[in-house]
């Protein structure tokens, strides 16, 4: 019998067999004395003995306690040195030898390909996307194994443009797997010898949950927070995507706010006090003042230090744009549905269409004090200004009429309006009465007009 042969070969009494069964349930899996678990493909080369990655190996034992495979050594004779231990993460158990050979063939383009990390703190992510969860943070100079090329979302640089490079599925020394973009990786082929970085590996990165939290967020100017708090959203400001980008993916941090567009090359982000960090190789630093606010400090060409505040918003920018766009559409539709044609005995006829356009005829009495004589009587309507509290009881809202007038961006009219069952009242607002898109005061001599709707006549 096979069991008797095993007992005879190893000199194991019956109690020994019971012990083996116990070890099996403890997580150590043994094949019978001459059988295999199957065949596997080596993912990471071994140095002693030298076995290149991609080699198909017989697998005899899996130990979940020691986290190793016991595999056969190619070309070794039967004896004490014909088997070695391989970390679980460095070998892929496939099954039959035929399946293992096919897997080795598919792995062949990346058998020799490794990569050296050139950016301290470069993340490995759970999926090939810049916004995906980080599963590992690489040290500068750390070596990783490239397993395959994958499709993914293009990585975006500090300027907002796609970065050159590709997403790869990779394996780290400690067995972590995930996806890394190649922009800050130095790919090379390993054909034997010591597998070491070309530059000294930096000191081990101490776990820093505050920094991890900071790097996981999008940082917008403090003014964005004020817009949300006051519910006065500027779509133009949001669409510019002003921001601070630490550049952990690229090694290039960027400050992009009105009047400032600066980039800072750095080799890593290192601690510099309590909840504070410096960007190695640059004059940029940052400090977390709360879980939602950071202060970014830098020096300009004159050497004067500047500090800017950035916030993590409760909703994403795209969501804010959708919400504000929907609000403006509702306001405009209320005007359109009340008309869409409005007429005044003194100030002509305004016709709105469902796409936010207008035509206006007969506005001669408003020329040239309010409307330039060169404008054409058509344009677009934007619900882009807001009322301060003192006007909210009297008026429904405010809008900008931009006239079609090639070469002149100032051909516009700002107005507050209110709707009723007969039509709507318009009061022209001078630019001096508007602060940060909010109407804060009336004109000294207000121009008020009433238009009857075609439905109200």
pLDDT value of position 76:
66
Share of residues in the chain with pLDDT > 90 (%): 62
Answer yes or no: is pLDDT of 99 > 90. yes
* Confidence category of residue 119, pLDDT binned at 50, 70, 90: confident
Reported pTM: 0.63
Contact 169, 113 (CB under 8 A): no
In tens, the pLDDT along 148-201 reads 999 998 887 766 678 888 999 999 999 999 999 998 899 999 887 777 655 444
* Confidence category of residue 78, pLDDT binned at 50, 70, 90: low
Contact 383, 332 (CB under 8 A): yes
In tens, the pLDDT along 411-423 reads 899 999 999 989 9
Share of residues in the chain with pLDDT > 70 (%): 86
* Confidence category of residue 74, pLDDT binned at 50, 70, 90: confident
Domains of the chain: 2-90 (2.30.30), 112-205 (2.30.30.40), 213-314 (no CATH), 327-453 (no CATH)
In tens, the pLDDT along 210-225 reads 998 998 899 999 999 9
pLDDT value of position 202:
47
Higher-confidence position of 206 and 169:
169
Contact 197, 116 (CB under 8 A): yes
Beta-sheet strands, E only, within 65-183: 68-72, 83-87, 91-95, 113-117, 123-125, 134-137, 143-150, 167-171, 177-181
Question: Can you read off the two tokens belonging to residue 51?
Answer: 């076995």
d(CA 403, CA 376): 6
Element (H, E) at 238: helix 235-239
Span 298-312, average pLDDT: 87
């Amino acid at each position: 019998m096979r069991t008797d042969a095993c007992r005879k070969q190893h000199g194991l009494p019956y109690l020994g067999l019971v012990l083996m069964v116990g070890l099996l349930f403890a997580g150590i899996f043994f094949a019978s004395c001459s059988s295999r678990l199957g065949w596997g493909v080596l993912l990471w080369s071994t140095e002693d003995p030298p076995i290149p990655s991609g080699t198909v190996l017989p697998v005899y034992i899996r130990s979940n306690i020691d986290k190793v495979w016991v595999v056969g050594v190619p070309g070794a004779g039967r004896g004490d040195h014909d088997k070695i231990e391989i970390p679980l993460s460095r070998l892929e158990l496939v099954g039959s030898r035929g399946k293992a050979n096919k897997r080795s063939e598919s792995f062949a383009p990346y058998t020799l390909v490794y990569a050296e990390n050139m950016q301290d703190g470069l993340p490995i992510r759970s999926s090939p996307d810049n916004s995906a969860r980080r599963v590992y943070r690489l040290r500068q100079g750390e070596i990783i194994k490239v397993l395959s090329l994958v499709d993914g979302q293009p990585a975006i640089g500090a300027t907002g443009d796609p970065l050159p490079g590709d997403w790869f599925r990779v394996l780290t020394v400690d067995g972590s797997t995930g996806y890394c973009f190649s922009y800050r990786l130095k790919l090379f082929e390993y054909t034997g010898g010591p597998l070491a970085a070309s530059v000294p590996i930096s000191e081990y990165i101490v776990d820093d949950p505050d920094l991890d939290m900071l790097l996981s967020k999008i940082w917008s100017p403090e003014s964005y927070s004020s817009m949300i708090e006051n519910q006065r959203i500027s779509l133009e400001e949001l669409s510019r995507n002003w921001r601070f980008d630490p550049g952990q993916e690229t090694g290039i941090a960027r400050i992009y706010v009105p009047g400032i567009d600066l980039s800072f090359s750095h080799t890593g982000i290192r601690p510099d006090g309590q909840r504070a960090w410096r960007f190695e190789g640059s004059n940029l630093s940052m400090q977390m003042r709360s879980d939602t606010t950071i202060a970014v400090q830098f020096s300009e060409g004159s050497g004067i230090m500047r500090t800017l505040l950035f916030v993590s918003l409760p909703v994403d920018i795209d969501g804010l744009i959708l919400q504000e766009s929907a609000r403006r559409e509702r306001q405009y539709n209320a005007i359109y549905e009340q008309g869409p044609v409005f007429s005044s005995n003194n100030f002509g006829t305004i016709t709105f269409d469902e796409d936010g356009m207008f035509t206006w005829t007969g506005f001669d009495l408003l020329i040239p004090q309010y409307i330039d004589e060169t404008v054409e009587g058509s344009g677009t309507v934007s619900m882009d200004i807001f009322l301060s509290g003192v006007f909210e009881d009297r008026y429904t809202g405010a809008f900008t009429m931009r006239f079609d007038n090639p070469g002149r961006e100032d051909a516009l009219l700002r107005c507050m309006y209110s709707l009723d069952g007969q039509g709507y009242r318009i009061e022209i607002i001078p630019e001096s009465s508007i602060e940060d898109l909010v109407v804060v005061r009336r004109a000294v001599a207000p121009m008020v007009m009433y238009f009857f709707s075609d439905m109200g006549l």
